Structure 1
Amino acid sequence: MQSAPPQPAQLSELAGTLRRRWRVLALGAVVGVLLGVLAWVLLPVTYTATTSVRVVPVDVSPSSGSSPTLDVATDAQLVTSGDVLTAAADDLDTSAGALRRGVSVTNPPDTAVLDIAYTASTPRTAAAGSRAVAEAFLTVRGEAAATTVQELQEATWDRIDMLEDSADRYPKDSPARESILTEAKTLGTRAAELATVDTSPGRVLGAPATPSAPSSLGVLPLGVAGLALGLLVAVPVALTRRDRAPDPGVIASPQDLGTGQGSAVLDGTADASPEDTWDVAALMLDLPATAPANGPVTLLVDGSVGTQSGEGLAEALRRRGLPVRHVDASALLESKIARGWPTDRKKATWTGELVVVDSSALASDALVATLGTRVDHVVLARSVDDDAVAARRVRSLLAVQGVDVALTVLLPRR
């Protein structure tokens, strides 16, 4: 008979694994919290102050009627440029490199405002640094605008001088001379406009407030972050950690099969044959000495595939002189079991019998758990060379359904 395909891990099984290995989780949590506290002790306390600057575009063509363009993203890059940081560093008596490590710039969406933040070890240093960088930015930007306007003026006057020299080569009444002088006059008007251009780069929107609380993380958030990180590492470790491997073919203890508190455990691994183990199991089960007259007694046996666990228990009960019916659940349609088999009508046909329902070959552990809710007793059987994970999964599913395992049987080696 082929082995049933492995079943996916159930949530109840995962929860049970984590409960059994709570020490791993506790260790991960403690180590994580300690790391968080250590980070709080070692990391420096910092303060952050912010200065808001409104950036104004420079209009070099006031008579054109068009709105001047403003590239806030480029201006944000200018804040951390060498010219700005060098100018601010001179005011603060520090280095441009030290300023660069503490400066950050943000642009609120749909605004012409730059928020210039500076982080330092003291509140006053943070406020002074933020203000100095903002003022240096405006100074450098204003100087750049003034230089641009001056260069335009010089280029315009040079063009006018060139045109006037060219006009002198034509007769006074020549149309070409008149056209050149007209162009020179237009450029003269342009030069006059450039002389009136406002090169104001913008303004500071209020002085930066001295920060009253650190911007660095405190012990509580760092401790919580460490706790979360510790559990994040500990959970997969707990789920994948393998218990100490027992001797090949030997289950270290009945607990390896996931037996629950109060469940009886029959360790028949030293018996000469499985028949001896099942004879003891038939005696240990709380069954009537004679066949019941008012209905059947049903037992669900879920064992290792290939061990014929249901047949073994049925034969042991027959040896005690009891009327026993053996039913192989794998011969039934799974949909029939899911709909409620065995029904009360079906059980009525079993009156006066002990009915052993063998679910060992069922491919679904969920169906095994469903059957467990419809019988009087549940027997969980595993041979010593089988992995106990499958048994723990079935027991977890039965526990979720409120079903107790009456007996766990450890069979001899196959």
Structure 2
Amino acid sequence: MSTGTKPAELSDIVSSVRRHWILVGFISLLGLAVGLLAIFVIPVQYTATASVSVKPLTADPLSTSTDSTRAVNMATEEQMARSRRVATAAVDRLGADSTLDVQTVIDGTTVETPQDSLVLNIVHSAPTARQAAAVANAVAESYLEVRRTDATQQLELLQSRTQEQIDRLKPLKANPDTEATDPGRRLQGVQADSLGSMIAELARIDVTPGRFVSRAVAPTHPSTPGAAPLGIAGLFLGLIVAVPVALTRKNEQTEINDVDGLPVTEHQLVLDGTQDDEREETWDLAAFMLKIPKRASRGRTIMIDGGEPASGRLAPGQELVDALGRRGETARFVDAGEVDGRVIGQGWPTEAERRAWNGEVVIVDTTNLLSDAHRVSVAENADAVILARSTADDVRTLRRLVGLLESKGANIALTALFPPRPEYTELTTTQ
């Protein structure tokens, strides 16, 4: 019988979890244990944050028209705060008592910028709360100091170049007669006076790089997850693993040698529904395990034999049709008891009839047939055979039928086991 993979539905998952609750519980508890053991594997970390505001420093400190939002590139400032230069200065600032190296400071430090702000949040993670706060503050202070140094050097360079130009113009300005008769010399004198004013302006420029918004304080709790979050995460991971395992086990070939006295043959796929609350649940699982193909060139025939007819209850074949319908599959129910025995004996259903079914799935119920020979004849021409048996059925009758089916090469795809039928229980009680 050709197969096609169907996704598991919610009812299948719930049923599988309930049927294999011991396995699911064991794997979930194993995940919980792994989560709790992770406490001893994941190193404890503390996180502290220092915040500094960044003051715009333009390329030309004398310019009064520069927009501060364009004068500071916060992405560049973030990279500077995490640079090796700043980390080296931070290690020096921490002093000789610190055992940290530059790379450790870089690895443990992250820098964040709130949107549309000129604030840097310098975050450092360390094994102790005091170390986390101390390094965060040291990095922030070193960043401001490096920025102040760069601004001071830039200012000194401007002052030096301006003074050089003034020194070149001083001899020309010292000769008033030449300046009065030569327009070019007069212009140079004006330039010298202007440069002198620039020197005075440069001396008043503020090179403050920024300031602390808040200093880092030693955190009171670690930033790494504790026992409760790790345990819950492990339990959830265990459930994620357990459910697919339970669904897989539902499709595995099993061997049940004896269920309440009912033997089954070796190498059969057995669906034990003796603990299910409703027969519908067992048939839902049977429909899931069959994996009915979406399309077929000819009709697919599945033979259902339920032993003795149960009065006041749907035929087993109709129960499977209903279960397939709940999964979105269409199937046709045929009661073999209403087919002429001579037709069955001649090899029913024939190949022509199967082609006429135009790819339909046909469920043939042989429960009402009185002859095992007719059952075997139907099974020979069926793609699969399902035996639906109660654990109170006659063991010898079942063995005889299975032997006949196997002797003719019939494909017993599934044996579905059900609890004792109520009418049998009532009959036993009355006697």
- Fold conserved (TM > 0.5)? yes
Partner of 2:219: 211
Partner of 1:239: 247
Residues 282-332 of structure 1 show CA distances to partners (whole Å, capped at 9, x for unaligned) of x53216xxxxxxxxx985734799xx9734233599xxxxxxxxxx9xx99
CA–CA distance in structure 2, aligned partners of residues 11 and 207 of structure 1: 53
Is the aligned partner of 1:255 residue 2:283? no
Partner of 1:269: none
CA–CA distance in structure 1, aligned partners of residues 226 and 142 of structure 2: 33
Q: Which amino acid aligns with 1:200?
A: T
Distance change (3 Å), C-alpha of 1:24 and 1:181: farther
CA–CA distance in structure 2, aligned partners of residues 36 and 298 of structure 1: 49
Partner of 1:64: 64
* CA positional deviation for 1:200: 0.5
What are structure 2's unaligned runs of at least 5 residues? 256-263, 283-303, 325-331, 342-352, 364-377, 412-431
CA–CA distance in structure 1, aligned partners of residues 6 and 212 of structure 2: 67
Distance change (3 Å), C-alpha of 1:15 and 1:253: same
Partner of 2:229: 221
CA–CA distance in structure 2, aligned partners of residues 300 and 157 of structure 1: 106
Indicate conservation of the 8 Å contact 1:301/1:309, yes or no.
Answer: yes
Q: Which amino acid aligns with 1:138?
A: L
Q: 1:178 aligns with which of 175, 182, 186?
A: 186
Partner of 1:21: 20
Q: Which amino acid aligns with 2:128?
A: T
Distance change (3 Å), C-alpha of 1:216 and 1:4: closer
Indicate conservation of the 8 Å contact 1:301/1:360, yes or no.
Answer: no
* CA positional deviation for 1:253: 3.5
Distance change (3 Å), C-alpha of 1:3 and 1:208: closer
Distance change (3 Å), C-alpha of 1:183 and 1:25: farther
CA–CA distance in structure 1, aligned partners of residues 20 and 83 of structure 2: 55
What are structure 1's unaligned runs of at least 5 residues? 266-276, 288-296, 318-327, 333-358, 363-381, 393-406
Partner of 2:119: 113
* CA positional deviation for 1:255: 2.4
Distance change (3 Å), C-alpha of 1:251 and 1:120: same
Residues 180-238 of structure 1 show CA distances to partners (whole Å, capped at 9, x for unaligned) of 33333333322321121100111112432221111111011111111222222333333
Partner of 1:322: none
CA–CA distance in structure 2, aligned partners of residues 215 and 32 of structure 1: 22
CA–CA distance in structure 2, aligned partners of residues 41 and 4 of structure 1: 48
Partner of 2:201: 193
CA–CA distance in structure 1, aligned partners of residues 385 and 145 of structure 2: 76
Is the aligned partner of 1:386 residue 2:368? no
Query: How many residue pairs are counted as aligned between the two chains?
Result: 316
Q: Which amino acid aligns with 1:116?
A: I
Is the aligned partner of 1:38 residue 2:63? no
Q: Which amino acid aligns with 1:88?
A: A
CA–CA distance in structure 1, aligned partners of residues 210 and 67 of structure 2: 16
CA–CA distance in structure 2, aligned partners of residues 112 and 96 of structure 1: 26
Alpha-carbon RMSD: 4.5
CA–CA distance in structure 1, aligned partners of residues 172 and 334 of structure 2: 117
Indicate conservation of the 8 Å contact 2:334/2:362, yes or no.
Answer: no
Residues 77-105 of structure 1 show CA distances to partners (whole Å, capped at 9, x for unaligned) of 11122222112112223321222222221
Structure 1 residue matching 2:28: 3-state secondary structure: helix
Structure 2 residue matching 1:189: 3-state secondary structure: helix
* CA positional deviation for 1:151: 1.0
CA–CA distance in structure 1, aligned partners of residues 189 and 241 of structure 2: 82
* CA positional deviation for 1:149: 0.7
* CA positional deviation for 1:387: 8.5
Residues 3-402 of structure 1: pairs in structure 2 closer than 5 A: 9-58=8-57, 60-62=60-62, 64-68=64-68, 69-92=71-94, 93=98, 94-162=100-168, 171-172=178-179, 173-241=181-249, 242-244=251-253, 251-253=268-270, 255=272, 260=276, 281=307, 283-286=308-311, 301-302=317-318, 310-315=334-339, 361=362, 386=384
Indicate conservation of the 8 Å contact 2:61/2:155, yes or no.
Answer: no
CA–CA distance in structure 1, aligned partners of residues 276 and 33 of structure 2: 36
Indicate conservation of the 8 Å contact 1:164/1:180, yes or no.
Answer: no
